[in-house]
Structure 1
Amino acid sequence: MDQKLNLLVLRCRDIEVSRVFYEHFGIVFEREQHGSGPVHYAAVFEGMVFELYPLKEGESADRSRLGFAVNLETDLRESLDAAGIEIVSSYEFDGRLIFVVQDPDGRKVELIQSEPKASEGDWTRFRSILLILAAIAGSLSFLNYQSEPMNGSSVLDVYFFYFALLVSLLFWPVMVVAVVGFQAINPYSDPVWTRPTHSCNPFRLKNPLCIAHFLMYFVMAQGAGALVTAILGGWLQSLMGIGMIIGGLEGLWALELVMKRFPEKMALHDDVDVAGNAPPE
C-alpha cells in the first residue's frame, strides 16, 4: 500500500510572523477560515497541505522539526544571509550540506539545496538577442532628430532640453518604485517574487521585477547604440544616449529599493519540496 504525508499543521504564536518566515522559502499561503474557526494560512505543494494555525490561549508551541529541499538561484548560505535568517548549525548528510535555522516559534528547520527547476528555462540567449537589436535600433532611431552642432541651435532650446533631461532623471527612479511597488498589492501578481536575473523570463507578467529588470537593460542598450553613432546624430543624440544609460542604471537602483521595501514579497527560490531524508539532531 502506497503512503504519503498529505497534511502538516503548525501552531504558531503569531501566524503573520510565521507566514513571512516560511514565505522566504517560496511557500505561497492563502488566508482561510472554516466557519467560526480561527483564521489561518494554508499552502499546497507536492500534494501536501501545509497550514499555520494560531496557538490556543495557554498552549505551548511544539518542537517539531521540519526539512525543506529548496531550489535557489544563488548560493543557499548567501540567500539566507540576504534574508536575515540566522544559520543555527550545519552538517553533511549523504554528501550534501544541510543548514539548520529556527522559525519564529523556535522549531528547527533544515534546508538543503535541490536541483534547479527547468520549467522556466534559461532566457539568457533570448534576452541577449533582444538587447543587441535594441542597441542597433538605438544607433539609428535618433539620427533624424537633428544633425546640427550645438552652437547652431537656439540657446533657449538647449537649456530647455537640459532642464527636461534633468527632471526626467530625477523622477525616473520615483516612477519605477511607484509602478513596480504597486504590484505588491496587485492580486494578479505572484504572491512571492523571485529576484530578477539575466536568465529569468522577461515577459513573466506576474513577476514585475523580471519585466522591469529587462526593460532597464533594454533602455541602456538603446542608449549605448545611440552613443556609437552620436558623431552622426549630433549633440542631441549624445545626450539622449547618456540620459538613457543613466536612466537604466537609476531604474536598477530603484528595483533594489522595491525589494528592500517589500521583503515579505521576496522568495529565496522558485520551488519548495519536502526533504524527508534528513536525520534528526
Structure 2
Amino acid sequence: MDLKLNLLVLRCRDIEVSRLFYEQLGIEFQKEKHGSGPEHYAVVFDDTVFELYPLKEDEPVDRSRLGFAVNLDTDLRESLGDAGIAIISEYEVDHEPVFVVEDPDGRKVEVRQSEQLGTGWLEGDWARFRAIVLILAAIAGSLSFLNYQSEPLNDSPVLDAYFFYFAFLVSFLFWPVMVVAVVGFQTINPYSDPVWTRPTHSCNPFRLKNPLQVVHFLMYFVMAQGAGAILTAILGGWLQLLMGIGMIIGGLEGLWALELVMKRYPEKMALQDDVEISGNTSQD
C-alpha cells in the first residue's frame, strides 16, 4: 500500500493569532473560502495541505501534537526567542536539538532544523567563531608583556603608585555596577528586543538588540585576555600577573552582573525563564 498524508486541518480559537504563530516557523498561508464555508488559511508543501480553520462555538480544542522541520537562516533557538515563542522542553534526535513549543491553542509543536547549519562563520556557527576569537584574545593578552615593565611599582613616583592601586580597587567595585547600568538601560531602549534570550555560546554575540549576548561575549573576551597575560607573566613580571588576575576577576564579576540584570528585570526574561530542559519526548 502506498499511503501518504495529504491533508492536515487545525481548528483554532483565533486563526489570526495562530497564523502569526505558524508564520514564525516560515509557513506562508493564503486566505481561502470555499462556498458558504468559513474563511480560513491554507498552504501546500510537499503535496500536503495544511489548513487553519476557526473553532466552532463550544467545540473543544484537540490534543494533537505536530512536528515541523524548518530551514531558517539563523540559529533556531535564537529565532524562536526573537519571535517570543517559549521553549517548554527539548530533546535530541541524531545529536540534533528538537524544541517543543506550544501554539496559541495549547498544542505541542516540535520544531527542528531541517538542514544542518553551515560550519563557516557566515553560516551561523557562532560557537566556533567565538572560540577562535577568544583564542586570539588570549594570544593578544599573552603578548602584553611587551608593554608592561617588570620593575617594581615602588620605583615609580608615590602618587603614581597610589593612583594605580586606587584605580585597580575602583575597577573591581565599579565593574558590576557598570554592567548592570548599561544593560539595564536597554530595557527602555525602543530598539531593543521586547524579550531577551538567555546568553549562550551558540548565538550571535554582535546582535545589539539583545545586550545580554553582547556583554556575555565581552566578559569572556576579557577573561581570555587575562588568562593569556597570566600564562606569560614570567616574562612580563608581577604587574602583568596582577593585570591578568584582575581581568579574569572583572570578567567573572561581569557574568555575575548579568545574572543580577536577569533577576532585576524578570519581565524581559519571562518567556525564557519558562524554558525546561529535558532529555525525553514526553507526549503530554
Same fold, TM exceeding 0.5?
yes
1:114 aligns with 2:111: yes
Alignment of 1:150-169 (within 5 A): 150-169=153-172
What percentage of aligned pairs have identical amino acids?
Answer: 65
Distance in 2 (CA, whole Å) between partners of 1:247 and 1:47 is 47
SS in structure 1 at match of 2:106: strand
Q: TM-score, normalised by structure 1?
A: 0.59
Q: Which residue of 2 aligns with 1:217?
A: 220
SS in structure 2 at match of 1:115: strand
Deviation of 1:201 after TM superposition, in Å, equals 0.9
Deviation of 1:143 after TM superposition, in Å, equals 2.8
1:147 aligns with 2:150: yes
Of the three residues 191, 195, 198, the one matched with 1:192 is: 195
Query: Which piece of structure 1 moves more, 110-119 or 203-212?
Result: 110-119
What do the CA deviations read for 1:33-85 (whole angstroms, capped 9, x no partner)?
xxxxxxxxx9963457xxxxxxxxxxxxx985787879658xxxxx759xxxx
Of the three residues 236, 240, 244, the one matched with 2:239 is: 236
Deviation of 1:182 after TM superposition, in Å, equals 1.4
What do the CA deviations read for 1:5-24 (whole angstroms, capped 9, x no partner)?
798549xxxxxxxxxxx9xx
Size of the aligned set, in residue pairs, is: 209
1:260 aligns with 2:263: yes
Deviation of 1:239 after TM superposition, in Å, equals 1.5
Distance in 1 (CA, whole Å) between partners of 2:99 and 2:225 is 45
Q: Which residue of 2 aligns with 1:180?
A: 183
Distance in 2 (CA, whole Å) between partners of 1:44 and 1:246 is 44
Deviation of 1:200 after TM superposition, in Å, equals 0.9
Tell which structure's C-alpha radius of gyration is larger: 2
Distance in 1 (CA, whole Å) between partners of 2:259 and 2:243 is 25
What do the CA deviations read for 1:240-273 (whole angstroms, capped 9, x no partner)?
111111110011111111112222222439xxxx
Q: 1:239 to 1:99 in 2, by over 3 A?
A: closer
Q: Which amino acid aligns with 1:195?
A: R
- Structure with the bigger RCO (C-alpha within 8 Å, sep 6+) is 1
Task: Please identify runs of 4+ aligned residues in structure 1 that moved more than 6 A.
Answer: 1-7, 65-71, 97-101, 117-120
- Name stretches of at least 5 consecutive residues in structure 2 with no aligned partner: 1-5, 30-58, 69-75, 79-86, 90-97, 118-122, 274-282
Q: 1:124 to 1:47 in 2, by over 3 A?
A: same
- Name stretches of at least 5 consecutive residues in structure 1 with no aligned partner: 11-21, 30-41, 49-61, 74-78, 82-96, 102-106, 270-278
Q: 1:185 to 1:202 in 2, by over 3 A?
A: same
- Asked if 2 retains the 8 angstrom alpha-carbon contact of 1:150 and 1:235, the reply is no
Deviation of 1:131 after TM superposition, in Å, equals 0.4
Distance in 2 (CA, whole Å) between partners of 1:254 and 1:149 is 33
Q: Which amino acid aligns with 1:168?
A: S
Q: 1:98 to 1:241 in 2, by over 3 A?
A: closer
Distance in 2 (CA, whole Å) between partners of 1:201 and 1:129 is 14
- Asked if 2 retains the 8 angstrom alpha-carbon contact of 1:191 and 1:265, the reply is yes
- Asked if 2 retains the 8 angstrom alpha-carbon contact of 1:142 and 1:233, the reply is yes
Q: Which amino acid aligns with 1:144?
A: N
Q: TM-score, normalised by structure 2?
A: 0.58
Deviation of 1:132 after TM superposition, in Å, equals 0.7
Deviation of 1:149 after TM superposition, in Å, equals 2.6
